[in-house]
Amino acid sequence: MAPPPLPTRSNLPQRLGDFANLAEALEYAAGGETGLSFHDGRGAVTCALPYRQLREEALDLAGRLLHAGLRRGERVAIVAETHPEVVAAFLACQHAGLVPALLPVPAAFGGREGYIDHIRRLAVAARASALFVPESLKPWLAPVAQEMGLKAFGRPSSLPPAPEGLPAPQPLGQEDIAYLQFSSGSTRFPVGVAVTGRALMENLRAILRHGLRVTPDDRAVSWLPLYHDMGLVGFLLAPMAGQVALDLLSPQEFARRPQLWLRLLSANRGTLSYSPSFGYELCVRRGRPDPAKGPPLDLSSWRAAGIGGDMIRPHVLARFAETFLPDGFRPGAFVPSYGMAEATLAISFAPPGAGVAVDTVDLDRLESEGFAAPPAAGGGRVRGFALCGPPLPGTEVEIRDPDGAALPERRVGRILVRGPGLMSGYDGRPEESAAALSPDGWLETGDLGYRLGGQIVITGRAKDLIIVNGRNLWPQDLEWSVEQAVSGLRSGDAAAFAVEEEGTERVVVLIEARGAPDEAGRERLAAEAAGTLRARHGVEALIVLVPPGSLPHTSSGKLSRALARSRYLKGAFARPAAELAALTR
């Protein structure tokens, strides 16, 4: 019989991240009743892990790591399945003075050889001295361990016990690197974000106190991958640093049964949970659970339904709210936010309880002038952007033009951030670090946006921006228009980017050809997409139809336009030129 989930209340005086390091945070949480409850694909608890037991396992494993010959400051790579042993290994590194780097599981990649090569690159980039993997992956990754001459390989629990009498391990300090975070787009040349203990604890305090305003009655529920910053920092370390109970479901189980996420929130009275846009959309696609197959949903306790990790699509959230309104979901529960691994995680939060505030702007002026003006009285093309809230206390945000001058409200420019939660740099990459971090502490985020009433509005990634005939086009706008106008397409079925041809930029849109089984259907789909872009955006685009499921995504589920463009240029989506030309007429 499955054990019950752990209780919601800790019975300790709540402390919201006011600790020197993670080891101290776990020590305090261990005095209470809360912890982690791991769930399987049926929603049953497979492991109830109180913080007190997690602390014991982490200390035991810290001794084993040091007994295996690992020395303070060395790096430990961990393939981060959603499993108690992974959490214990990460925290064992904190106690032993080792630097963990959480790596993705195979589900994020297409094929054994590609996955092995990716893990090899990440482990080498991390300069790992140990690699911990699930039992099922040992045959795959044993050659990597042998090539690298690692001190430890396999499951952490397989390490021999440490003998009694060893000196007590010295936890990582505030100036030490607490962990390495590889960005979700790290592929060919992975770059590890180095987060110090000080930056981590500052960001955790800000999330708990100001971003989510956590209380003793809160309970977190998460299906986010632990190797991604939102899953690791937002929904593992932050709950622990606030003594919050946490229900965990693997990303693989969520993808198979997205309604299970909602059932866990309902059954356990979850109050805090986050997802990128595609998670909310997947739930809408599957619809409300069949009441004959379980108790009715009750989402009334869900007070902070966070949205982050990609561009926020207000229409996706509106559909989710409309779908699950009969189940007690409140639109005001949405919490748009902005963050990135280089800032540990969080930069800004919309005020809790306010829901999604949308700024509707004149799209023509946005594209031609870089000015987010309210729509003209006579109508015209418009676009809505979600407001992501003001910066966290102690964090500064500036919007700058290409020459570095600060811009006023509603002027679109590069977003720069400065504050206590920023990374120390990219691990072992001084040139990349210098390009991203200025001597006076400003981080170049790579994002574009504007300020409005003290809040941050994100309009896109600078590197994804398409410039055609002096107009700035956001690929998200082109993709959204196609997905909304063409029957059968879903969010994430299109990828827009620009390629240079004879000195000019040409817009290419890759579209997964769902629901078009024959050539006539494919021609109609392509013609409709091209006509939509011509009518709505004045853009002549090359439409390339690709098989369903072939557009690349990052490990966190975001569409990777850069990788899609790279594959297109290499001919991965090639079709006869005459056929493509005909489809876009």
The rounded distance, in Å, linking the Cα atoms of 216 and 232 is 21
DSSP single-letter state for residue 559: B
Helix (H), strand (E) counts: the chain? 18, 26
Strand pairing report for 443-452 and 413-418: antiparallel
User: Does the pLDDT of residue 404 top 80, yes or no?
Assistant: yes
pLDDT (average), residues 249-276? 95
DSSP letters for 450-483: EEETTEEEEEEEGGG-EEETTEEE-HHHHHHHHH
DSSP single-letter state for residue 342: G
pLDDT of residue 495: 93
Strand pairing report for 192-196 and 177-182: antiparallel
More confident residue, 552 or 272: 272
Angle between helices 138-148 and 112-126 (to 10 degrees): 40
CATH number of 465-583: 3.30.300.30
The rounded distance, in Å, linking the Cα atoms of 494 and 484 is 11
Grouping H, G, I as helix, E, B as strand and the rest as coil, residue 329 is coil
User: Does the pLDDT of residue 240 top 60, yes or no?
Assistant: yes
pLDDT (average), residues 213-231? 96
pLDDT (average), residues 232-252? 97
pTM assigned to the model: 0.86
pLDDT (average), residues 222-229? 94
pLDDT of residue 45: 97
Distances from the Cα of 539 to the Cα of 111, 128, 484, angstroms: 37, 48, 17
Residue type, 167: P
Say which CATH architecture domain 277-462 belongs to: 3-Layer(aba) Sandwich (3.40)
- Sign of the torsion formed by the C-alpha atoms of 484, 490, 493 and 497: positive
More confident residue, 473 or 501: 473
What residues does CATH 3.40.50.12780 cover in the chain? 22-256, 277-462
Say which CATH architecture domain 22-256 belongs to: 3-Layer(aba) Sandwich (3.40)
**What are the backbone dihedrals phi and psi of residue 572, each rounded to the nearest 5 degrees, phi first?**
-65, -25
pLDDT of residue 549: 83
End-to-end CA distance of the chain: 63
The rounded distance, in Å, linking the Cα atoms of 299 and 463 is 38
User: Which residues are within 8 A (CB) of 445 and not within 5 positions of it... i.e. 6 or more apart?
Assistant: 340, 342, 414, 415, 416, 417
Give the range among 206-215, 482-491, 549-558 with minimum mean pLDDT: 549-558
User: Does the pLDDT of residue 539 top 90, yes or no?
Assistant: no
